Structure 1
Amino acid sequence: MTLLHRAYRLFRSEGAGAVANEARKKFGGYLDPLYQLTKPEYKQYTVSDVSAEFDMSRHRLDRHDFVDDIRSERALIERVLSAVEADDVFYDIGANVGIYSCLIGDRLDSGRAVAFEPTPEAYDVLRRNVDRNDVPVETFNVALSDANGTTRMTVNGRTGHQFADGRDGTLEIETRRGDDLVDEHGLQPPNVCKVDIEGAEYLALDGLRETLGDPNCRRVFCEIHTEKVREIGGSADEVETLLRELGFDLEYLGDRRANYFVEASRPPERR
């Protein structure tokens, strides 16, 4: 199969973005050694009217990194930013290296962000980014789920982290039921919440029913992984049903391959 034919098939199945990403990985491999010698320790990114600096130590030209999500998710980041007020509490569930937490932290005044990230490597970078930007972010090295305990997770590159059963998982992580963690640490419920946790969204939301049911919780932005959520627990329909049961109206924001984004908004009369 020719290179052009492979590119065409990828375009038909996943779109122009996937083709561009594959080209970047292929040709970036040749340039990456030079890039590693010249790249900055931290790089500043600006979205809307906020800015933050991010650790570049793991960034490579031939591999997708979560810093790259600032480009690919810019419209969603802007949407979340538009929902956050300076005195809000923001929950970043699946924070990874803290893109949302640090950018939104720059928006906050008397408000606060709370970031949850279970994988040790990403959590270390998250802490460095929070410290670098001096933003009001409290961090927890846990995965939110429907039970307290431990589970195993597969780690595939920088972005393919998900719960796994038994010996399939390469990493053991701590899980916490969100409502219990909120009570234990005296955390305020969020006004705005973002959820991106590779198929564990139903489990996390199920463990946060009391917290997200607080009338002051106005918005929940959630990426629903339609295939992974069935493997891990629940379904896309169950995620939507749970959010509606908590008093939210749902708006579809677009999709990414087999996944899609929803914005759950609580109408003023339900606050």
Structure 2
Amino acid sequence: MGAIYEFGVARNVRVVKARIKGTAHSALDRLWGAFGATFHRRPAQSVYGVPMVPNFADKTFRYCLYGTYGKYFSDYLDRIDYDFTFIDIGANQGLYSLVAARNPHCRKIIAFEPVKRTFDFLSANVELNGASERSVLLNAALSDHAGTAQIAVKANHSGVASLAGHSGMEGQPTETITLMDAAGLDEHIPEDLPIIVKIDVEGHEGVVIAELAKSAHFAKVRAVFHEMDERWAEAPKIRKMLVEGGFSKFRKFGIRRHYDILAER
């Protein structure tokens, strides 16, 4: 019953709340003109406890601001009591990188965000939170080869940008992005720290996890937190890949076909 309430009721309430507040802020921008724009340049305090550069027109920003994602992974990051590297694959505007940076045990952050406008917000948020010196921000996507690709983007919802070409993104504009493989990633990973990974790549999870497994540092990965949407990702295949990679403990957060998984060794 707890899971049904959290993911069937409470999460939907948070989504509606984010939509209402975002609409209100956009309306105030139009009403107040230059004053509203000046007001919204002030940092906005997310319910996750980190300030963020305002981007109210974007649905993903509103989800970060008002806590739509729940607290299970942010609480997990806060509780880590050993020194670690955090790899944020599909960082968007950097919510979880900022939460990780708040933990004094987080010694290094490596964040991937391929879409240029979103990457600019990521960079600004990391600087705002004083985490620039221990962060490597990569305007790229982790994939199975180095090069370039076209990614589908949606103007008002940065979190659905997709390399996978899943349904719902047909006809959306595209942007040329940089791709990086495991060899490129390995150049940035410290030799002596355990690793926590977050993956949110809209259907590209299988490719990312397979490439991550090629990393020379994969054995140091203690946990992989990843989004799963069964409309365009093969959950059994991805779980099998992680099991073969040495992960034995799996926790599911969510119900129905769209949920999150925390895999641990």
| CA distance, structure 2, for counterparts of residue 123 and residue 46 of structure 1 | 22
Q: What is residue 255 of structure 1 aligned with on the other side?
A: 254
Tell me how far 1:207 sits from its aligned partner: 0.6
Structure 1 residue 23: Cα displacement: 4.6
TM superposition shift of 1:212: 8.2
Deviation at 1:133, TM superposition (A): 1.7
- Residues of 2 paired with 1:151 and 1:218: CA distance? 30
Q: Which amino acid aligns with 1:97?
A: Q
Q: 1:171 offset after TM fit, Å?
A: 0.8
Contact 2:84 2:196 in 1 (8 A): yes
Distance 1:145-1:205 versus aligned 2 partners, 3 A rule:
same
CA distance in 1: counterparts of 2:255 and 2:217, whole angstroms: 28
Residue 139 of structure 1 and its aligned partner are, at CA, apart by: 0.8
Give the 3-state SS of the residue equivalent to 1:192 in structure 2.
strand
> For the residues of structure 1 that align with 2:198 and 2:216, how far apart are their CA atoms?
12
How far 1:111 moved relative to its partner? 1.2
Structure 2: give runs of 5+ residues left out of the alignment.
1-7
SS for the counterpart of 1:171 is: strand
Aligned partners of 1:196, 1:109: CA distance in 2, in Å?
23
Query: Does the 8 Å CA contact 1:194/1:221 hold for their aligned counterparts?
Result: yes
Letter in 2 for 1:129: N
TM-aligned CA distance change 1:110 to 1:121, over 3 Å: closer
Aligned partners of 1:154 and 1:253: how far apart in 2?
28
| 1:137 positional shift | 1.5
Change (3 A) 1:41 1:174: same
Partner of 1:163: 163
The 1-side partners of 2:236 and 2:24 are apart by 40
Distance 1:181 1:237, change over 3 A: same
- 1:135-214 alignment runs, 5 A limit: 135=131, 136-156=134-154, 157=156, 158-163=158-163, 170-177=174-181, 179-185=182-188, 187-188=190-191, 191-211=195-215, 214=218
Question: Which residue of 1 is the match for residue 244 of structure 2?
Answer: 245
- Bigger CA drift: 98-107 or 70-79? 70-79
Report the secondary structure of 1:41's partner residue: coil
| Superposition deviation, residue 21 in structure 1 | 4.9
Map of 1:42 onto structure 2: 43
Aligned-partner residue type, residue 226 of structure 2: C
Partner SS state of residue 50, structure 2:
strand
| 8 A Cα contact 1:151 1:164, kept in partner | no
Amino acid in the other structure paired with 1:118: P
CA contact (8 A) 2:196 2:223 kept: yes
Q: In 1, are the aligned partners of 2:250 and 2:261 still within 8 Å (CA)? A: yes
Q: Superposition RMSD on alpha carbons, in Å?
A: 3.1
Match of 1:76 in 2: 72
Displacement after TM superposition at 1:261 (Å)? 0.8
CA separation in 2, counterparts of 1:203 and 1:140?
18
Structure 2 CA distance for partners of 1:67 and 1:137, relative to 1, 3 Å: farther
Q: Which residue of 1 aligns with 2:129?
A: 133
**Could you tell me which amino acid in structure 2 is paired with residue 73 of structure 1?**
Y
Work out the CA distance in 2 between the residues paired with 1:110 and 1:249.
24
**Which is bigger in relative contact order (C-alpha 8 A, separation at least 6)?**
2
TM-score by length of 1: 0.76
TM-aligned CA distance change 1:260 to 1:133, over 3 Å: same
Question: In the alignment, what sits opposite 1:269?
Answer: none
Counterpart residue type for residue 213 of structure 2: R
Change (3 A) 1:79 1:186: closer
Aligned to 1:5: none
CA separation of 1:69/1:257 partners in 2, compared to 1, >3 Å: closer, same or farther?
A: farther
Q: Is the 8 A contact 1:89 1:192 kept in 2?
A: yes
User: Aligned partners of 1:186 and 1:29: how far apart in 2?
Assistant: 40
Alpha carbons 1:83, 1:219 under 8 Å: kept: no
Look up the equivalent residue of 2:174 and give its one-letter code.
T
